[in-house]
Structure 1
Amino acid sequence: MKKIYIAGFDVFESNSIEIGKKYVQLCKNYGFEGLYPLDNIVDFNQEKRKIAQDIFKANVNLINQCDIVIANLNSFRGKEADSGTVWECGYATALGKKVYGYMKKEQNYIDSFSKDEKNVIDDVTYDLENRVIEDFDYPINLMIACSIEKMVFGEFEDCLKEICK
């Protein structure tokens, strides 16, 4: 049975355990074993940096075990995907794992900026700090968009359906 690592900022939600159980069950329903980061056993009665190291090592171990990563690439605390999730995608890609991402909105990255958040000069779009906003017709930074197997517009289960095609 192929294993899927479930990446995303869902681990920060107040109902993260329930979300994980739901995603693991969905994986099972589609014939996969789901590996959810919060299923790791970590001793939280240690100093914070030791806890962080243990979480990191446990999640890396899950990625090493998996065949596929499904990543929630929706915006998190801003306009970009969660940086930890992005790291996991890059690591998995470097290992030769198949990575699928999902986002709720199908829009070009540049369109995530409102008119008040950007300026266009000579057909180049800049943010308010005068930095170029990339425009490659992807919903996310090109390094993620070009490295994943498939970007799915929808939810976690929609990625599972895509994998099973």
Structure 2
Amino acid sequence: MKKIYIAGPDVFEVNSIEIGKNLVKLCEKYGYQGLYPLDNVVDFSQTKHKIAQDIFDANIKMIQEADTVIANLNPFRGKEPDSGTVFECGYAYGLNKEVYGYLSDSSHYIDRFAEDERFAKEGSFYDLDARVIEDFDYPLNLMLSCSTKIIEGDFESVLKFLKGRE
């Protein structure tokens, strides 16, 4: 049975355990084994740095064990995906794993910026801090969009896509 690492900021939700159980059940429904980060056993009586290192090490091990990573790339605390999730996608890509991401809205990245949040100059768009806004007709930064198969929808949409390829 193929293993899927479930990446995303869902681990920060109040009901993160319930969310994880539901995502793992969805994996099982489609014939996969889901690996959810909060299923790792961590000793929370240690120092914060030791806890963080143990979480990191356990998640890395799960990614290494997985055949595929499915990542929630919806905006988290701003316009961008969760930075930890982005790291996990890059790490998995570097290990030659299949990496999939889902977005509820996969419109172009430039469109995430409202008219009053950007300005045009010499054929490019800039944010209000005068930094270029990437515009390659991708929903996210090119480094993520070129390394990750991005699917509009939800976690189950990716599972359906994967099952349809088999």
What amino acid is aligned across from residue 23 of structure 1 in structure 2? L
Map of 1:17 onto structure 2 = 17
Q: How does 1:46-125 map to 2 (within 5 A)?
A: 46-125=46-125
Partner Cα distance (2:43, 2:116) in 1: 46
Partner Cα distance (2:86, 2:117) in 1: 24
Partner Cα distance (1:32, 1:87) in 2: 23
Partner Cα distance (1:19, 1:114) in 2: 31
Map of 1:3 onto structure 2 = 3
- TM superposition shift of 1:23: 0.3
Partner Cα distance (2:91, 2:163) in 1: 23
Give CA deviations for 1:64-105 in whole Å, capped at 9, x if unaligned.
000000000000001100000000000000000000000001
What amino acid is aligned across from residue 33 of structure 1 in structure 2? Q
- TM superposition shift of 1:106: 2.3
What amino acid is aligned across from residue 150 of structure 2 in structure 1? M
Matched, 1:160 2:159: yes
Map of 2:36 onto structure 1 = 36
Partner Cα distance (1:159, 1:15) in 2: 22
Give CA deviations for 1:92-131 in whole Å, capped at 9, x if unaligned.
0000000000000121000000111101012210000100
Give CA deviations for 1:13-52 in whole Å, capped at 9, x if unaligned.
0000000000000000000000000000000011100000
What amino acid is aligned across from residue 144 of structure 1 in structure 2? L
Partner Cα distance (2:51, 2:106) in 1: 37
Aligned residues: 164
Identity of aligned residues (%): 63
Partner Cα distance (1:144, 1:64) in 2: 19
Partner Cα distance (2:104, 2:24) in 1: 20
Partner Cα distance (1:106, 1:88) in 2: 20
Partner Cα distance (2:162, 2:33) in 1: 13
- Give the SS at the match of 1:41: coil
- Give the SS at the match of 1:51: helix
- What CA RMSD, in Å, does the superposition of the two structures yield over aligned residues? 0.5
Displacement over 3 Å in runs of 4+? none
Q: TM-score when scaled to structure 1?
A: 0.98
